[in-house]
């Protein structure tokens, strides 16, 4: 049980000194600030004996304020509440931030990043206690506290330094690589207070949307022993390799835009209205190949490189590449991939491997199958990552 005595002090009774990692059974994952006009995708999952069950899925109104871009903006308190269908005890955020970073790197490189204060350190003066949370001393002076920050760099334990917050997880069987994620400290603090205390849910996890995607396919039946998955996110395309369910490769496709940019390109080049894009791609009224090929072919080439890496370095054989997150135009992508790189693409259903029915959907025009469900990937992944975290207490 947690008891908040002061604004800066919360003690836990019955748990360890660092606060017990609990086992979660009912979690809502929410993707924030992805630019979706429908709202923030939210997925509520419950852990059952025989797997996960979809309790609710839909779009929730976003917070009143946007993600802050500075300490000053972050000091303005924003309180957000979720609709009742999504009021699980705990929430897992999958946040999209222009200042975030996610990379596959080595532990030494991570520690260097940590010492340097990350990719983007904010040295401007920051309000000290406007959040009511005591900022770690490491954010105020970089040099002297570097050793401490480095020593605190345990896998899965977030560390603050130089205005950035980092966390690292080792990638099993990857040849010693780690996945490193980072977010500006003020954004992390702001997000931690976004959901108020004393009301369901409260934040139990803040993940980056790209890292949340990694967990979104773990229950897919087609994942198999070795898989290469292509995630088409709103602002980027990611290639993730899995071996025996563990992540062994993560990379962002260079020069590949995200789905938002692809849509804009399609709209512009094909002269489409905004609401016609998906229809055109799916119904093939107009052949979008000419517009898509310059986008998809380089991605397919990078897929080839990644596949070769998996086979050569990690011994992971994979014949089919799973595609996730594509709202429309899969057939065209499949053709281009086959033609340009002799790759077989297979689109996966978002909620495959999970007990999901359309009755759990909140809102009109939604479906647990097909392209419409792809919007929930990051939220699903965030919730799954929190649920699958092994508890200690």
The answer to whether 102 contacts another protein (rule: CB under 8 A) is yes
Nearer to another protein by C-beta: 248 or 361? 248
Shortest distance, position 174 Cβ to another protein, whole Å? 11
Q: Among the candidate windows 115-123, 224-232, 243-251, 304-312, which touches another protein by CB under 8 A?
A: 243-251
Site for another protein contains 169 (CB under 8 A): yes
Nearest-CA neighbor of 210 among 356, 96, 343, 301? Answer: 96
* Of 215 and 277, CB closest to another protein: 215
Q: Please name the residues in contact with 285: beta carbons below 8 A apart, sequence gap of 6 or more.
A: 279
67 binds another protein (CB under 8 A): no
User: Among 224, 245, 363, 370, which residue sits at the site for another protein (rule: CB under 8 A)?
Assistant: 245
Burial class (CB in 10 A: 0-12, 13-18, 19+), 231: buried
Nearer to another protein, 190 or 333 (CB): 190
How many CB atoms sit inside 10 A of residue 45's CB?
32
Residue 338 phi, psi (nearest 5) = -70, -40
82 touching another protein, by CB under 8 A: no
Question: Which listed residue (246, 274, 344, 392) binds another protein by CB under 8 A?
Answer: 246
Q: Does 42 bind another protein (CB under 8 A)?
A: no
CA distances 280 to 126, 284, 292, 333, Å, are 49, 5, 12, 14
CB 90 within 8 A of CB 201: yes
Looking at the Cβ atoms of 187 and 306, the one nearer to another protein is 187
- The 129-168 site mask, x for binding another protein (CB under 8 A), equals ----x----------------------x-x-x----x-xx
In angstroms, what is the minimal distance from the CB of 245 to another protein?
A: 3
Residue 268 engages another protein in binding (rule: CB under 8 A):
no
Distance, in Å, from the CA atom of 139 to the CA atom of 148, rounded to the nearest integer, reads 12
Q: Rounded to whole angstroms, how far apart are CA atoms 334 and 330?
A: 6
User: Which of residues 111 and 371 has its CB atom nearest to another protein in the complex?
Assistant: 111
**Min. distance of Cβ 367 from another protein in angstroms?**
25
Closer Cβ to another protein, 198 or 312, answer by number: 198
Q: Does 2 bind another protein (CB under 8 A)?
A: yes
- The helix (H) or strand (E) run that includes residue 47 is strand 40-48
Residue 16: other Cβ atoms inside 10 A: 10
Which of 3, 221, 271, 359 contacts another protein by CB under 8 A? 3
Alpha carbons 249 and 139: distance in angstroms, whole number:
31
**CA–CA dist 246, 390 (Å, integer):** 15
| C-alpha–C-alpha distance, residues 193 and 79, integer Å | 7
The dihedrals phi and psi of 154, each to the nearest 5 degrees, come to -90, 155
Rounded to whole angstroms, how far apart are CA atoms 178 and 125?
31
The contact mask relative to another protein for 177-216 (x = CB under 8 A, - = no) is --x-xxx----xx-xxx-xxxxxxxxxxxxxx--x--xx-
By CB under 8 A, tell whether 324 contacts another protein: no
**Cβ-Cβ contacts under 8 Å for 231 (sequence gap 6 or more):** 210, 213, 237, 238, 239, 240, 324, 325, 377
Could you say which residues in the range 352-391 bind another protein, by CB under 8 A?
384-386, 388-390
DSSP characters for 8-19? S-EEESSS-TT-
Nearer Cβ to another protein (174/327):
174
Would you count residue 4 as binding another protein (CB under 8 A)? yes
Tokens describing residue 388:
């699958």
- How many residues interact with another protein (rule CB under 8 A)? 61
Judged by the rule CB under 8 A, the positions of this chain that interact with another protein are 1-7, 9-11, 18-19, 89-90, 102, 133, 156, 158, 160, 165, 167-169, 171, 179, 181-183, 188-189, 191-193, 195-208, 211, 214-215, 218, 244-247, 384-386, 388-390
């Amino acid at each position: 049980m947690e008891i908040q005595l002061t604004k800066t002090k919360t003690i836990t009774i019955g748990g360890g000194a660092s606060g017990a990692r609990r086992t979660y059974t009912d979690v809502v994952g929410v993707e924030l600030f992805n630019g979706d006009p429908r709202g923030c995708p939210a997925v509520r999952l419950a852990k059952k004996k025989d797997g996960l069950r979809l309790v609710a899925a839909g779009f929730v109104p976003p917070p009143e304020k946007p993600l802050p871009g500075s300490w000053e903006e972050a000091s303005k308190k924003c309180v957000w509440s979720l609709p009742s269908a999504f009021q699980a005890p705990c929430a897992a955020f999958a946040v999209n931030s222009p200042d975030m970073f996610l990379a596959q790197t080595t532990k030494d490189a991570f520690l260097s990043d940590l010492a340097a204060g990350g990719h983007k350190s904010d040295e401007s003066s920051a309000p000290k206690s406007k959040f009511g949370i005591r900022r770690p001393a490491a954010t105020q002076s970089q040099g002297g506290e570097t050793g401490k920050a480095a020593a605190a760099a345990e896998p899965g334990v977030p560390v603050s330094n130089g205005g950035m917050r980092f966390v690292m997880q080792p990638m099993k069987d990857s040849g010693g690589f780690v996945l490193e994620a980072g977010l500006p400290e003020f954004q992390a603090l702001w997000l931690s207070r976004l959901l108020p205390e004393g009301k369901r849910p409260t934040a139990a996890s803040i993940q980056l949307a790209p890292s949340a995607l990694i967990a979104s396919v773990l229950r897919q039946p087609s994942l198999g022993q070795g898989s290469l998955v292509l995630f088409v996110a709103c602002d980027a395309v990611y290639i993730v390799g899995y071996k025996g369910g563990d992540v062994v490769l993560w990379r962002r496709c260079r020069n590949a835009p995200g789905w938002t940019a692809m849509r804009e390109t399609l709209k512009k080049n094909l002269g489409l209205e905004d609401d016609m894009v998906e229809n055109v791609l799916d119904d093939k009224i107009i052949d979008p190949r000419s517009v898509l090929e310059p986008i998809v072919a380089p991605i397919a080439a990078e897929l080839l490189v990644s596949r070769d890496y998996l086979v050569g370095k990690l011994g992971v054989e994979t014949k089919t590449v799973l595609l996730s997150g594509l709202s429309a135009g899969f057939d065209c992508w499949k053709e281009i991939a086959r033609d340009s790189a002799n790759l077989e693409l297979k689109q996966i259903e978002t909620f495959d491997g999970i007990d999901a029915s359309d009755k759990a959907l909140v809102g009109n025009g939604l479906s647990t199958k097909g392209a419409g469900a792809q919007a929930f990937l990051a939220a699903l992944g965030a919730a799954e990552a929190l649920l699958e975290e092994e508890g200690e207490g």
